[in-house]
Amino acid sequence: MKKKLQKVLKKGCIPLAIILVLSMTVGLTGCNGGAGEIKPDGPGVGGPDTSPDNTGPDVGGPDTSLVNTGKVQNFNLAHFWPSSHPVETELVQPWIAAVFEATEGRVKITSYPGETLIPSAEIYEGVKEGVADIGLSCFSYTRGQFPVLEVFELPGIVYNDSAAATRIAWEGIRELNPKEVQDTTLMMVFTTGPGHLFTKNPVRNLGDLKGLEIRATGLSAATLQALGAVPVAMPQAEAYESISKGIVKGNLGPTEILKGWSQAEVTNYITLTPFLYNTLFFFTMNTGKWDKISEKDQQAILEINQKFFDEVACSLWDRQNEEAFAYAVNEKGMEVFELTAEETAIWTGLVKPVQDDFVSKMDGLGFNGREILDTVQRLSDKHK
């Protein structure tokens, strides 16, 4: 993949970008919590990257002679959301302006939304290899690469909202400290919070769901399969067209996709299922690129990182979900179904094996699967 992307860069299809820089070393404890430093066990979060990919010239990276000289450093950022999406307009672009101002113009940032730099499923690897300086995407797009972090997307765990789910994820990552994200500098995570079913056909009960082709990724696919639906994996960017053409009959996801991804235009019904879904996003940086920023500018960026996490990222999906729900119902006329208590109990029982499979899988990989699951369940209870 690296050679393929390098060829694209050499052809001049993608200009040298200027990008957003964050760091997970701020150690956010919650949406309005204090800061602390994460201490990885091995080569990890915030530490130097000693892999061969970072010992030679960096692909698209800043000139090392710029460090501590007061000259301009340029970085790029890859993500998959459209340029009109709040991730770009409310988080990324305001962050770009704040970083530029705080570093007195020494750190310049350019965002590449809509998969214009790297496909969504390849963003983490692209950052790891130095093709992108910064990347935002879903952990679930590369299922199997982040086995421990799949716990935050398990069904059967109820999240009140995105802010609570984000706090739970961040605190859980601090406790579990998984090595699977220690090959880049993980700067921030945030979540969608609870998601629901959006379909062309009404889904009032389990019988209505059976046999329906539903777009899903990661553990959501296993969840839908356990309920008798037919999961179809695809990035969010492909869902609108697939639903409109009838390739799939709906989507399992956060309410924001009804407006942010225009899916209220191609679906007719909302079935509330807050126990089925949560998606975890990463915001990570190539460690070698971060290390080339001066200590003074790093500190300025960390302070902005804390501010934007607290004030924007933590509740970004809650605001979107509320707005999109009102839009879908009031403007697009979508009908809403709420499962009865009896029906909810049936669905919850059917997805319990997905949790059990996760525990067994973790045990097989040498982890304590039950401890990982119990950690997240404890944090979920704490934030209710």
Per-residue pLDDT at 31: 58
Neighbours of 384 (CB within 10 A): 10
How are strands ordered across the β-sheet holding 280-285? 107-112, 73-78, 134-138, 280-285, 185-191
- Identify the CATH homologous superfamily for domain 2-146+162-192+280-319: Bacterial extracellular solute-binding protein, family 7 (3.40.190.170)
pLDDT band at 306 (very low <50, low <70, confident <90, very high): confident
Query: What is the number of H-type helices and E-type strands within the chain?
Result: 14, 11
Sequence ranges of the domains in the chain: 2-146+162-192+280-319, 196-278+331-382
In angstroms, the CA 243 to CA 251 distance is: 8
Name the residue among 220, 241, 263, 250 with its Cα closest to residue 85.
263
Tokens of 235: 């990035």
pLDDT tens per residue, range 33-69: 433 333 333 322 333 333 333 333 233 333 434 444 5
Asked if residues 120 and 152 have their Cβ atoms less than 8 Å apart, the reply is no
> Which of the residue ranges 51-60, 202-211, 218-227, 231-240 would you say has the lowest mean pLDDT?
51-60
Place of tokens 């409310």: 90
114: left (phi over 0), alpha (psi -120 to 50) or beta: left
- Do 2-146+162-192+280-319 and 196-278+331-382 fold alike per CATH? yes
In 312-340, which residue ranges form alpha helices assigned H by DSSP?
316-326
Element at 251 (helix H, strand E): strand 250-253
Asked if residues 189 and 256 have their Cβ atoms less than 8 Å apart, the reply is no
Nearest-5° Cα angle at 289, 140 to 4: 60
Per-residue pLDDT at 80: 95
> 196-278+331-382 architecture in CATH?
3-Layer(aba) Sandwich (3.40)
Tokens of 280: 């975890």
